[in-house]
Structure formats: C-alpha cells, structure tokens
Amino acid sequence: AQSVTQPDIHITVSEGASLELRCNYSYGATPYLFWYVQSPGQGLQLLLKYFSGDTLVQGIKGFEAEFKRSQSSFNLRKPSVHWSDAAEYFCAVGAGVNFGNEKLTFGTGTRLTIIP
Amino acid sequence: NAGVTQTPKFRVLKTGQSMTLLCAQDMNHEYMYWYRQDPGMGLRLIHYSVGEGTTAKGEVPDGYNVSRLKKQNFLLGLESAAPSQTSVYFCASSSRIREDGRSYNEQFFGPGTRLTVL
C-alpha cells in the first residue's frame, strides 16, 4: 500500500527567505507524486506533479520539487517566499490509472506561516 | 466553467439527523471522490466513483453512503449523524490524462463543506 509522510507539521519562514517542505513516500513502483496547496477556507489547488522524466519539476507560483528515488522523497522548494504563500501544503502519491488505481493518498499536511 | 461546486457550504446537525451533501462538476470528469479533512489527519478518502452508476469504498466509509446517478453529480449521505462526523468535507473530480505513454489522474477540488454535528 502506498503512504506519504510529511514530517513537519508547522514551519515558520521569514518573507523573502527560501523554503523547503519535506515529503517522503512509500510505494513499490514509480509513483505519481503531487503537491497541493490549500489557502485558509479554500479547497486544494495543484501546485505541481511528477510521474516520469526530469526529476526536477516546476510548478505554479514559483514552486519546484525534486524527485529523489534513492531517498523516496519529493521535497517542495521555493527560493523566496511571499506573504501570500502562507497556507497548508499537502503531498500526495498515486499509483496511476494504468494499474486500475484512481486514488491518491495524502500526507497530513504542513502548515506554512510567513513572518515579516 | 464553475469547476467543482459543493452544496451546502456550512451545516449544523444534531446527533441522529440525516443529510445529503451535493457535489457537482462541469468538466465531464469520469472520476469523483469524497474526502474528509480533520486536524492533523490530512485528507482521508470516504468513497469514490469511477463512473456513472458505480461507487467504491475508500479509507473511512463507515457511516456514509454515496450515489452517482448522473455523471456530473456525486452525493454523500449521512443517515444518522454522529459527533465524530464533524469535519470539513471535500469533493474532487478527475479524468484520465495520458502523457508520455503513462496515464494518471489530476484531481480538482471543490471549496468544501464544513459540517458540525452536535
């Protein structure tokens, strides 16, 4: 069974500083990996995804993530955060519909606070 | 396009009452999902559907029922609400996307329904 761990429940970063949110997954084959963002009182929005090819993927809002198979990780990064990045971030893993599995498994989320 | 919409946005129930949450999508997606979100638990899948007329259990299905009579709608029912069902409920929909010889689905989420059971 697939699983996702986000070890950091809450992270506080100064505006303009760099950011890295950690995500570790467990899955037997090559996973489909996603990062979603949830602003307060809103639904989830897809930031970026990885399923094959270049291990460094670019997403919206200046975010990027790097897939490292050897470490079973898919960490999210941003060089310089803005106050509007304050939100909750979820990592998710899927098996891909080729295997008849249309489900995603989500991590417990990391809440990001930005301080001036 | 409205995307994924959910009705109602807020609801307060008493223990034992029943209600139905409605999810609608206008993207012609095949797959639809119901999640609940609780503090520190992330999103947990309740039920999902891979097509009109089909439903399947997710991770936490007990106490809930679903129906997918029309492709664009996915209903979540609570027959006898319990305080443990106090949560924020999210609906999502997706379709199969094929890239580089592989298929995956990208889920689009609704804004959520905040349910309190007293």
CATH superfamily assigned to domain A3-115: Immunoglobulins (2.60.40.10)
pLDDT > 80? residue B100: no
CA distance A115 to chain B (A): 22
Topology adopted by domain B4-98+113-117: Immunoglobulin-like (2.60.40)
Residue A25, pLDDT score: 93
Backbone φ and ψ of B84, nearest 5°: -70, -10
Residue A95, pLDDT score: 67
Query: Which tops the pLDDT comparison, A94 or B75?
Result: B75
> Would you list the domain boundaries of chain A?
3-115
Query: What average pLDDT does this structure show over B40-67?
Result: 92
Helices and strands per DSSP (H, E), number in chain A: 0, 12
A40 close to B (CB below 8 A): no
Among A25-34, A37-46, A62-71, B89-98, the least confident range: A25-34
Interface of B with A in 51-110 (CB under 8 A): 58, 90, 92, 94, 96, 99-100, 102-110
Residue B11 burial by CB count (10 A; 0-12/13-18/19+): exposed, middle or buried? middle
Contact: B42, A90; criterion CB under 8 Å:
yes
> Would you list the domain boundaries of chain B?
4-98+113-117
